[in-house]
Structures are given as C-alpha cells and as structure tokens.
A and B are shown apart, each in its own frame.
Chain A
Amino acid sequence: MGMSQQEGAGVPRSEGRSPDWLLLLNGPQTLGRGPLFWVGFVLAVLAAVIYPFFMDAWSVGNTAYFFCWVFMALGLSLIWGYAGSLSFGQTAFFGLAGYTYGVVTMNFGAAYGMSLVGLVLGVGMSCLGALMLGYILFYGRISGVFLGIVTLSTTLVFTTFMAQTAGSQWAIGDARLGGDNGMTGMPPLTIPWFGSDIALYSGVPLYYLLLAMLVLCYLCLRILVNSRFGNVLVAIRENPHRTEMLGYDIRRYQLIVFVIGSGLAGLSGVLYTAWGQYISPSSMDLAAAALPIIWVAVGGRKDLTATLIGTLVVLGVFQNLTIFGSYYAFVIMGLLLVVVVVFLPEGLIPGLVKLAGHLRRRKGDLA
C-alpha cells in the first residue's frame, strides 16, 4: 500500500487472472503501487485533462512545451537511473531527431501525414545513431566515467559540426541547416484529416496529443522496467560483473536500453522542433546538455515517477527563474545539481518519500 518501496518490495502477490503485462504496472522498480497511488494517478490525469478549460492559451501551450522535454528525461532515467550508464548523449540525439524532422518536413511538407513520417524518421535516426554509438561503447566494454566522456565528446563534436553549417551549401534538399542560427520555418505536427488537416501549433490540441503520448509512454515504461528485462537492468546497475556471471549478455541489455532511451530523447527533439518550428545547435550546447542531467538527478533518477514529477517541477522553476535572466537561472540550476548530488544523491522525491516514511513511523512509535 502507499508509496513505500522497502516494505514488501519485490515479493510478488499471488498472481490472479489478470494478464501478465497489467501486473507489471506495479513492481519493484517503480515507486508507488496499490490503490492509493493509482487513484492519485487517475486524479492527476483528470486534472491535466481539464486544465485547459481553466487556463489561458499561452499557459496551455507552455505546458505542452514542458511535456516535450519529459520524454528525454524518462529516457535518461532509463539509461542512467535503471541501467547505470551515465550517458551525456541525450541532447545529441535530441538535436539529430529535431533536425531530421526539419529536413523531412521542409522538403516534403506536412500534408498527407508527412509530418508524422518526419516524426517517425526523426526518432528512427536517433535510434540508429544510438545503435551505432552504443555498439561501439558497450561491445567495446566502455563504462563508467569513460562512457560519460565519450558520449559528451560526441555531443560536443556534433554541436560544433552543426554550428558551422552556415553556408548555403549546407542544405539537404530544400532544407538549409543554418549553422548557428539553426533551422526554422518547418511545419508543425499535422494530422491528416478529411476536409482540412489539423496543424498542431502550440495550443490546446497539441497539448492533448502530448498528454496522451506522455501517459502512454509512462505506462509502457512502467511495464518495461518491472519486467524481466527491467530486473536485469537494475542487476546490471548494481553489479554488472555478477549479472554477467549469472549468464546474461549484459552488453545486449545495455545497448537495447541505450537505444530506447536515446529514441525517447529523439522524440523530445522532434516534438520540441514541431512545437516551436525551430531547432538550433544551442539546444545541444554544454549548458543545454546539462539540463536533462539536472532534471533527472534532482527528481530522482532511479524511478520513473520521481523523474516525471521532478522534471516538470524543475522546468517550472527554471522558467520562472529566467524572468530574472537566463544566466541566473542556470547558476541556480548548477547550484541545485551540486547540492542534490552531494547531499541527496537519490534525488529530491525519493528523499521526500523516505522522510515521509520516517515521520509516519515516528508517529506510529509515539501512538
């Protein structure tokens, strides 16, 4: 019951007649199980559904903007929090997918569902890139800090590359890459419809689409991490050597989770580009690349729900801080990261959950 992970963790209840995958919504790798949590979850989703009726269009579009980023955070939580691989490559795949979307839609337009093709291709490019890079890394037995360095270097080189694509010779078909200024003017996600297509500019319809995608993604990831596959992931995180000695090819698991997580980063990239009709190398520079790390570290990287909530909270805080100037916002973010890593390495949300557990137990003792 409730949010406790320690009590009764990992000892499954008797399996009734529910399908296997439904059971996996609850499991040892996710905080929150039982009726109380799921009621809260449904209420949260309902609140999100009626939110646009009470807020102005700009706020709704802004929340949609926040939703774009959550996929990348969940992906990083998967790679870093669950599988234990510290990858700094998320923003590179973000950018790769975003640019791919731009190239596809600027060449072929958004009619006849082409923007959706752009989305699929964008995510596909990220997955392909992750497959290649991941193969070199994991089958080359690169891990730990070296994994971080190589992925960071890859991101830096890719950013530098995109920043110098300023000339007119740097174009793929009709889409100019634009160098430091980036690529702009691509169409938003457009749903093909009888009569006229629905172009999803920042606003209420896009909000609902993103909300649906987010809920679906969250539930699917919950099932994934609580499955056998997820069990092996956390085993790899805890003791990769032992996991291999139990007969698992850990390189394969690490590669698969890297591709999934990077694909999610790519999804964020496409959605961001489609939301704002803009993508540039500055969304991949060192400061930008630090942000997913901050969201995930602050929220609580080892748990999907903590990451989800933490990301939205930190995004909100960051946006409010940028009123004072983006430099100040980043300084606070950096400070937040250092404080959390040093003093609360599990993240704020698990820290709060533990605190709540302590207080409840204390009350129980006093009663």
Chain B
Amino acid sequence: MEYVYLSFGAFYQFGDAFAFLVLSAMGLAVIFGMMGIINLAHGEFIMCGAYVTVVTARMGVPLPIAMLCGSLAAGVLGIVLERMIIHRLYHRPLDSIVATWGISLILTQGTLIVLGSSMSGISTPLGSFAVGDYTYSTYRMVLFGMALLLLVGLYVVFHHTTFGIHSRATIQAPDMARAAGIDTGRMYSLTFGLGAALAGLAGALYAPTISMVPTLGANFLVESFVTVVVGGADVFLGTAPAAAILAVIKAFLTGWQGQLMGQVGLLITVMVVIRILPQGLSGWLLKGRK
C-alpha cells in the first residue's frame, strides 16, 4: 500500500510541476510561435491577471468569474500594447525583446506606484485531501486538470475555429494568408491578445497561491522561457511535451533539493536541449514526421 501512496505522491509532484510549466508558458508560446518574438512583458500580463482576479474576488464576485475577468483584462492590455508598440517591431526580433522589457519595467514600477508594494491576496480554495499519510492541496490537482483542459481547448480553437485556422495560416505562410484575404495585422493583434489572456489566466489561476506583489511575474519567467525554448515554436508539439519532460526533471530536483535546484535543473536542461535540438522539440518532431 505504501508503494501506492508514494506513487501518488510522485504523480502529484509531477502534476503540480506540469501545470505550472504549461500554464506559465502557454501565453509566451502562442506569441512566440506566431510572431517569433519573445515578450518580456509576459510576467506583467500574469501579474495583471492575478491582480484583477484578486480585486474582483474581494469585491464579492465568485472566484471563477473573477479569474475570467483577470484573464480578459490581461488580454485587453495585450491588444492595446500590440497596437501601440509591438506591431512596429515584428521585423526586429532582438529589438522587440528589449522594448517589451521596457514595457515590463513600466508596468511593474507603475503598479508599485499605484497599488503599493503589496496587496492582500485571497486564500487557496478547496482545502486538502489525504492519501495515506500525506495530505495534498485539492486546488493544485484542479490546476493540473485545468492545464490539460486548456491544452485540449487550445487545440480545438486552433484546429476547428475560423480564427484558429486563419491564425495557423498566418503563422505558416503570412504572404499566402494575406493573398487569401486574411487580415494578418488583425491576426497578429488577436493572437497577441490571446497570448496575453493566457498569461493572465495563469496569473488568475495561481493568484490564490502566491503573494500579491507587483513583481510576482518574475517567478514565472524562468519556467516559461525554458519551456518555450525547449518546446520550440509549436504549442502542441512543443510546449506540451516539453512541459511534461521538464516537469519530471523539476519535480524530481525540487523534491530532492528544493525549489532553487529545480530551477537550476531547468536551466541546465535548456542549455543541453538547445545544443542538441536548436529548434526545440517541435522542430525535431516536425522534421521526423514524413
């Protein structure tokens, strides 16, 4: 029986790490996969989602709705930024990384000015459950489920909706898409907004588990970067399997040596993977397909 309990424990650690990696990386992966730019303001979209969720939840709105509000707010912020600044930098990927860092600085420090260095948060819902001698947070298992649901949902969106199909056409062959009448400028805006909303959703979902400080986005950065780089440009062939593999590494190292070792392990993994698979997992998988 002890064996079953330990296996569940390992599964829980894996699920927790997997959820964190997938949810952190999803928004970044969508934007990177579509436009090839790395959005360093990613952490701030997460922060926006978290903050809006907490504020609306404290006003009495039921938590799931509050989370949707958070995600939506981040999405709107994303579209606004894209229209104002980002769309000027599509042909300059290195400059876009620097500019989004500037935006990140403005948003973080701006929030520090307006809302102060911390804000009261909300508590983790759903309590805990026990398996054998160990107790686990129910909410974290829910997050694992949410991560899976989100992957499925995104797959449906990208493969079975007009938006998704147009968006994939724009990714693969922007000139052809334009020739076919697709408004690629709008595609980029909407996709950027989607990426921002997904980041906001990550912030919203993790809001009950973290402290509300304007720099909270930074905690998600290393994991999201590493997952996107290891995964490559495709969300489904890349981010998901990358998150699975990295979750194993992270869960193992965190359980053995703590949070920091987990991050170090991720960093080492990304350096190794870039060396062997410069296009990430999805690049490698796509090559071997035919």
Contacts of B113 in A (CB 8 A): 325, 327-328, 331
Does B271 contact A150, Cβ atoms closer than 8 Å? yes
In chain B between 91 and 144, which residues have their CB closer than 8 angstroms to a CB of chain A? 92-95, 97-99, 101-106, 108-110, 112-113
Report if B48 contacts A (CB, 8 A): no
Q: Mark A21-48, 1 if CB is under 8 A from B, else 0.
A: 0000000000000000000000000000
> Which single member of A141, A285, A342 contacts B278 (CB below 8 Å)?
A141
Chain B proximity of A199: nearest CB distance (Å): 36
Contacts of A334 in B (CB 8 A): 102-106, 109
Report if B85 contacts A (CB, 8 A): yes
> Which single member of A145, A146, A153, A335 contacts B106 (CB below 8 Å)?
A335
Report if A130 contacts B (CB, 8 A): no
Does A148 contact B271, Cβ atoms closer than 8 Å? no
Report if B50 contacts A (CB, 8 A): no
Does A293 contact B99, Cβ atoms closer than 8 Å? no
With A160-B260, A342-B89, A342-B99 known to touch, is A153 a contact of B267 (CB < 8 Å)?
yes
Does B229 contact A330, Cβ atoms closer than 8 Å? no
Contacts of A325 in B (CB 8 A): 113
- The docked-state distance in angstroms from the alpha carbon of A140 to that of B268 is 13
> Which single member of B85, B101, B226 contacts A290 (CB below 8 Å)?
B101
Does B105 contact A341, Cβ atoms closer than 8 Å? no
Report if A154 contacts B (CB, 8 A): yes
Report if A106 contacts B (CB, 8 A): no
Chain B proximity of A262: nearest CB distance (Å): 17
In chain B between 138 and 169, which residues have their CB closer than 8 angstroms to a CB of chain A? none
Report if B80 contacts A (CB, 8 A): no
> Which single member of A137, A150, A287 contacts B109 (CB below 8 Å)?
A287
Report if B53 contacts A (CB, 8 A): no
Report if A240 contacts B (CB, 8 A): no
Does A157 contact B278, Cβ atoms closer than 8 Å? no
Contacts of A293 in B (CB 8 A): 98, 101
Does A153 contact B226, Cβ atoms closer than 8 Å? yes
> Which single member of A161, A164, A287, A341 contacts B98 (CB below 8 Å)?
A341
> Which single member of B38, B92, B106 contacts A338 (CB below 8 Å)?
B106
Does B271 contact A136, Cβ atoms closer than 8 Å? yes
With A150-B229, A334-B103 known to touch, is A156 a contact of B218 (CB < 8 Å)?
yes
Report if A144 contacts B (CB, 8 A): yes
Does A146 contact B274, Cβ atoms closer than 8 Å? yes
Q: Mark A152-168, 1 if CB is under 8 A from B, else 0.
A: 11101100110010000
Does A140 contact B275, Cβ atoms closer than 8 Å? yes
Report if A68 contacts B (CB, 8 A): no
The number of chain B residues with a CB under 8 A from chain A is 41
Chain B proximity of A277: nearest CB distance (Å): 26
Contacts of A164 in B (CB 8 A): 260
Does B93 contact A145, Cβ atoms closer than 8 Å? yes
Chain B proximity of A347: nearest CB distance (Å): 12
Report if B221 contacts A (CB, 8 A): yes
Does B109 contact A153, Cβ atoms closer than 8 Å? no
Residue of A nearest to B100 (CB): A338
With A136-B271, A140-B275 known to touch, is A145 a contact of B102 (CB < 8 Å)?
no
Report if B270 contacts A (CB, 8 A): yes
Does B222 contact A144, Cβ atoms closer than 8 Å? no
Report if A142 contacts B (CB, 8 A): yes
Chain B proximity of A153: nearest CB distance (Å): 5
Report if A52 contacts B (CB, 8 A): no
Report if B189 contacts A (CB, 8 A): no
Chain B proximity of A328: nearest CB distance (Å): 7
Does B263 contact A337, Cβ atoms closer than 8 Å? no
Report if B206 contacts A (CB, 8 A): no
- The docked-state distance in angstroms from the alpha carbon of A325 to that of B110 is 12
Q: Mark A120-146, 1 if CB is under 8 A from B, else 0.
A: 000000000000000011001110111
- The docked-state distance in angstroms from the alpha carbon of A327 to that of B89 is 27
Chain A proximity of B262: nearest CB distance (Å): 10
Residue of B nearest to A84 (CB): B94
Contacts of A150 in B (CB 8 A): 229, 267, 270-271, 274
Q: Mark A286-302, 1 if CB is under 8 A from B, else 0.
A: 11001001100100000
Chain A proximity of B78: nearest CB distance (Å): 15
Report if B215 contacts A (CB, 8 A): yes
Report if B176 contacts A (CB, 8 A): no
Residue with the greatest number of chain A CB neighbours at <10 A, chosen from B102, B104, B215, B264:
B102
Report if B289 contacts A (CB, 8 A): no
> Which single member of B40, B98, B106, B274 contacts A297 (CB below 8 Å)?
B98
Contacts of A345 in B (CB 8 A): 92, 95
Report if A333 contacts B (CB, 8 A): yes
> Which single member of B93, B98, B225 contacts A337 (CB below 8 Å)?
B98
Does A146 contact B215, Cβ atoms closer than 8 Å? no
With A154-B267, A286-B218 known to touch, is A86 a contact of B103 (CB < 8 Å)?
no
Contacts of A145 in B (CB 8 A): 36-38, 93-94, 97
List the 4 closest pairs (A to B, CB-CB), nearest first.
Answer: A334-B105, A337-B102, A334-B106, A338-B102
7 contacts between A and B (CB under 8 A): A148-B97, A150-B270, A157-B267, A286-B221, A290-B102, A333-B102, A341-B95
Known pairs A286-B221, A327-B109. 5 more at Cβ < 8 A?
A137-B271, A146-B274, A152-B221, A337-B102, A337-B105
